[in-house]
A and B are shown apart, each in its own frame.
Chain A
Amino acid sequence: MNARSSLAVRMARVDKAFGPVLATKSASLEVQLGEIHALVGENGAGKSTLMRILGGLIAPDAGRVEVFGREVTGWTTRAAIQAGVGVVHQHFMLVRPLTVAENVVLGQEPKRFGLFDKAAARRAVAELIERTGLRVPVDRPVSELSVGGAQRVEILKTLYRGAKLLVLDEPTAVLSPVEVRELWGVLRSLQSGGATVVLITHKLDEVMEISSRVTVMRRGETIVSIATRETSPTELARAMVGRAVALASQQRQAEPVKQKGSALEVRDLLVAGARRARAVDSVSLTVAPGEILGVAGVEGNGQTELVEAIAGLRPASFGSIRLGGREVATFSVRERIAAGFSHIPEDRQRRGLVLDYSVAENLVLGLQERFCRHGILDRRAIAERARRLVAEFDIRPADAQAPARALSGGNQQKVVIAREMGRDFQVLLAAQPTRGVDVGAIEFIHGRLREARAAGKTILLVSADLNEVLALSDRIAVMYGGRLVALLPRAEATVEILGAQMTGAGRKEAA
């Protein structure tokens, strides 16, 4: 009885089926009051399902859920909020033109004479910010905040509603190292204020750093629940995937392979963005064949515009882009593909895939010309290619006719990778190639990138994940405010140096 009453969450033998698939089977989770509990697992392991059940978004088919010692199985979101459960989703649910204060109180606005009392809202939110240390300007519209700022607003929202149990779904995916550290600070101070935190994450170093307990899920089942100090990243990775995994940080890159091939040269590139006239500001870089140049940086510092300009999706106002000495800046997207460009776009669901097209159709997107005769699609060749790539890249389900929409994020990304790397290419622009995919898929994608490098391909890697950049790159550039503020050989780069450059602390110009 005593042990039980110290539990914030107790979920036991929880089953939840979606169609014919069990998303969780007999899953369990026990979270002590006042602890920071990490919930880890691959995509589709059932973490999110479990948290959606906890938050009242869906009801379990079987099992028992207790929150703060009270049985609440199958409750509603409203009841969950009232009981003090606050969920911060991966995708922010904020009204961008409204101010921070307005967003925080939305749905529970203070009223005076039946009308919205803006002054009271400001006061309440300012007081909350003061108390929690979640620093955001109260009167600023959310649209003007950084991603980290928006996330703090989401957390404030749940706290405003009286959350004592905070569930954070992959909160660090969009943050810079500095912002991550700030978030940890906030979580620790909430913890010392008596709050309980459940943190869903992919990143094992975060688990080690912040959590006191960790629960690993795999294929809907709870594999292990253990005190964090009694385990290691390697052990956790094995529990997540079900076999030994080479963690990115443990791998050493081989020496650069000098190969013949085409170098990518970008000179004085100037690109206008949606918000800034100089989203990319006089960027020059050269990537040699057999080399991976990693571009690190907090998102929104021009990386997107840089890659899109090189790929031909965004006009460059000035500058030159050469592939093997040939000027391609005036080429259309199609001509650049023909010239040997491959591009893994950062947003696969918007750019990289037509979600309602089948896997087979998506595997020829951008290569339509090669898969038709006299303008008529060569369906046999398309099916043949799909069969080959689905097998080679282990895309699941192995049904090339399934719409891309029906695939998990990791498998969608494999479709993109298969299309872009399963053909002859000279240069690969890889933007956030492993975003939102699970450990196993990350390992697979990294392996593919290394193979391409060994085969003499020219690779420009853009990633917000410093570990990824460090694990793969021969040289590392840092982008800040549209400029390349640093360019280092891998051997000289450390998380500390890069982290400082990413926030504009060092102002050393790129070579």
Chain B
Amino acid sequence: MRILAVDDDEMILELLSASLGAAGFADLTVASSAAQALEQIAATRIPFDCFLLDIQMPEVDGIELCRAIRRNPVYAAAPIVMITAMSQKSYIDRAFSAGATDYVTKPFDPVELGARIRLASKMVESERALTENRSAVATLRAQLERERFVDLNEPISIPDVDAVIDLQALENYLLQLSRSGLFATSIFAFKIVGIETIYASTSPIDFRYLLTDVAEAVSTALRSHERFVSYAGNGVYVCVAHGRGALDLEVIEGTANLIVEEMALTNSRGVPLKFRLRVGSPVRVGLVRAGRGAVDALYVAIENAEHDAPKVEDGRSGEHWSQFRLA
């Protein structure tokens, strides 16, 4: 696996080289600034498989560099691990917003770092296997359908929607938040009512578009809060929102439904797609659930949404959402 590590501290680069070399990742390129990293990315003939970025660097910081790397289509899905002494929540938030997939706080344990990179390596391998499978598909149409195929239960990536990140990245984000960072954090999930029926009656491409549109509606409904949203599969979107005071989930649910209604979604044949979103009971994380407990709360919220939503439309589909219009 080809790794590019970027840090302005020579000692850290040497530490990374020693730790990763011993863990079996010897193909390490280093850069001491964002500018140098971007030059190396532009010059390389074989793309890098993984990036390790320091946050606090002079001129262009690691978060901006992360954003720049993500803009390159070659690296749209590459693992980007932030390695930094910054443990404040605002830095963690900004890093994940910029597209980071994981976050390691300095001082790091070399053994744990190796394990994290191995996890990233597995992501690269499965992506590579998927790419090889795709090339075997006989016709362009079949290839397109295959690329776009979505298993109903799969927590797929939804790119280019503000504050929407992968479920794995959301887990990593929660694992990194300290107890105080989790204070006043609510976790809850939306479910598309009747998702099984919609899934059975739409093409994979239409289904993927629908998931993206709904992600946009959910993220927009929460836009007055610091938040992250992930698609968890089976029509469920799990949300992590920060803010003092209780969230008014009824209003947020109404707003999301209004946005969906105003999108007037149709499938590629022009047939309207009618459905609504239901929010499940929230899980308030509070001060006692840092680390794995916060991730467990994520799955409790998903279960709540699954449990609370009716399996099919229950007659509220004609509900009037205009009272929830955003200012």
Chain B binds chain A: no
